[in-house]
Amino acid sequence: MIKIALPNKGILSEDAIRLVTEAGYRCKRNSSELVLHDPINDVDFYFLRPRDIAIYIGNGFLDLGITGRDLMLDSEAQVVELLSLNFGHSSFFYAIPKGSGLTVHDLNGKRIATSYPRLVENDLKSRGVTTPRIIKLDGAVEISIQLGVADAIADVVQSGKTLEAAGLVTIDRPLLKSEAILIAHSMESTRQEDVDLFIKRLKGIIVAREYIIVEYDVPKESLAEACTITPGIESPTIAPLSNENWAAVKAMVKKNEMNSIIDQLAAIGAKGIIVTDIRTCRI
């Protein structure tokens, strides 16, 4: 039996449960459940604070866990990042009062409010800022400057509207671009058969979300050009039609290129162009 940690709340939790469920595991729970057993796959799922997951994994209490890269780095836990999961994207910036003119190098000796003290301290040290006064807050970091608690902040920035409302602007490059990741205690722990299967199943779902299947009929005189437009993973599948002047083609293509590909296929005379979603795959 393997033990896997999932975030217990927030957007990370929702997307992690959706991903793991699509991979064939039973991990949907009532809000009060902290542990859920999947008897078919012989897996125990532990629902923990996202901030704590890397610590449990790093100490060897659990085999695998899903958390944010930012939380993993801030914990300084001894874990291995196995897989980027392509959700939970965020960017971290320093922000200062509009018009203050502060730069990152002006933050020596300044009070910096953040929910990620280790992450900020390590980043500032890498930039040569060695004497910041870091103030740890668990939330509502933007208001700390207005209340006189801090001179600058370091926090997640999405649309920037919350910062703007607080009279703040970002400065310099982001500290970090984060996303949800799968972590393990060590590479050694991934050699277990059940752990390896879990990783492969998640990879199958992630890849499937990035690709679609496109099928179409094309005149043979345009077949070579069609195969260039839809090369597939190794090569497209080509089948003859009753009309000897035409061929049927099937290939995997990137989902974000779908509309452009359809336009190109139509331009060379392809007909009956059909697009199908993929639920899971192995490539």
Overall average pLDDT of the 98-112 stretch: 93
What is the pLDDT, as a whole number, of residue 164?
87
Residue type, 15: D
Q: Is 5 helix (H, G, I), strand (E, B) or coil?
A: strand
Residue 209 to residue 102: CA distance in whole angstroms: 42
Q: Is 59 helix (H, G, I), strand (E, B) or coil?
A: coil
Burial class of residue 240 in the structure, from the number of CB atoms within 10 Å of its CB (0-12 exposed, 13-18 middle, 19+ buried): exposed
What is the pLDDT, as a whole number, of residue 257?
96
What is the pLDDT, as a whole number, of residue 11?
85
Half-sphere exposure of 246 (CA within 13 A, CB side): 12
What is the pLDDT, as a whole number, of residue 274?
97
222-271 pLDDT per residue, tens: 999 999 999 999 999 999 999 999 999 999 999 999 999 999 999 999 99
Angle made by CA atoms 63, 198, 188, in degrees to the nearest 5: 45
Scan for tokens 């990042």, then name that residue.
Answer: 81
What is the pLDDT, as a whole number, of residue 160?
75
CB atoms within 10 A of CB 22: 17
Residue type, 22: E
What is the pLDDT, as a whole number, of residue 15?
96
Domains belonging to the chain, first-starting first, are 2-86+179-191 (3.40.190.10), 90-177 (3.40.190.10), 211-277 (3.30.70.120)
Rg (CA), the chain: 24
Return the bridge partners of 35, or none: 46
Q: Indicate whether 48 pLDDT > 80.
A: yes
CB-based contacts of 16: which residues, under 8 Å, 6+ apart? Answer: 6, 7, 66, 85, 180
pTM, two decimal places: 0.88
Q: Between helices 10-22 and 50-58, what is the axis angle to 10°?
A: 60
24-34 pLDDT per residue, tens: 999 988 877 89
Overall average pLDDT of the 200-229 stretch: 97
